[in-house]
Structure 1
Amino acid sequence: MTDPLSAILGFGLLGVACLAFTEKILPLPPSHVLLLFLGMTAAPDLPTLAILLLVTTLSAITGCLVWYCVGRRIGLDRADRLVERFGKYVCLRYATYSRLGQAYRRHHVRVSLLAQFIPTVRNYLPIAAGALRLPLLPFAAATLLGATLWNTGFLITGYLMRGSGRDSYAVGFRIIVIVLALEMAFMLALRYGPAWRRRLGFG
């Protein structure tokens, strides 16, 4: 993974932007892996780190807007069929997508924000937002806030791991495992916990 990423990063900020945008279209590598890597290897100082945050966040919101436009273009029925047919290939359960899509009708700002912290959903739920023709400005603002918080956490973590004297990649791996465990716990609570779904506005 490191060699291809390093090659792309050889293009500078353009390479970073392309990686961040592509991750929103097809989450390979996962965003937390990419952001930790960028924080560890592409940010020699705080000003550069701030620029990386700006570039990755703007690229992420651009990717979300692409999927929003796709959803708006194809409509709700075709969007549902698209996810139902192909969601399994990107680890997106149709039931989860459908439940969050229904919650969009009632709490579109809250769901847009929280979706940025849920694996795979953060990439493809904008399709539902567009298909439901939710207001673009609140959707974009909530998604931007969520993406900013997400990107900031992992970029700063990667940056702090630089030169710490520890095995950065081993520490990064442990962080990724913890994040995946927390995401899995959230998904299980969303799937099996009616009280949690109501509290979060998903039920």
Structure 2
Amino acid sequence: MALVAAGGVGAGAAPADLLSEGGHRLLLVFRGEQNKNHIDGAGFRGACPAMLSVIVDARQDPDALPALLAQLTRGAVEGLVREVFIVAPHSETIVALCEDMGAEAADGIEPALAWAKSDLVLVLPAALRLRDGWVEALGAHVAAGGPGAVVVGLVRGGLFSSAPFGVLVERARVVSLQEPDLDRLRRKLGLRPPRIG
């Protein structure tokens, strides 16, 4: 089943018309019986029943980290993001950024999962750029008890590369994986890789 909610992060195998509509949609893709359900998540307000622990994997692209952290700040203010862990090579820059943004540094995804306090974990690459309305759309999905999902943002993949994507998953489902990465998490959820355009 796929959810398409106005005003948010694009996620999953996006339809071709997604970007032509200004990119203001959320598509969460997960297993289910139906093909599509269209819901409007733009007006979602109120406390989420569960807050998310966010793990940002910046090992491949630490320079992209500040832009994503700035976007995640709104999620913390709105009560969706409980805590943020940054997985990156140890450096003074990363330590200073963690201190400035109130995030925690971690040596890998596995230790960050062990430290996470929330049952729901959002694992994102630093290169991901979230769409406007991502807090409302993801909050509505979580509030509705939605299952794990693949989350993609604004950047499209090239001819031989895929768009950056993240994974929303229950922490208990991934603790057993040996040093999980985003592709392993996506496969464990039974989700297809995101394809935009």
Question: Is the TM value for this pair above 0.5?
Answer: no
Instruction: Name the one with the larger strand percent.
Output: 2
The structure number with the bigger radius of gyration is: 1
Normalised to the residue count of structure 1, the TM-score between the two structures is 0.24
Normalised to the residue count of structure 2, the TM-score between the two structures is 0.24
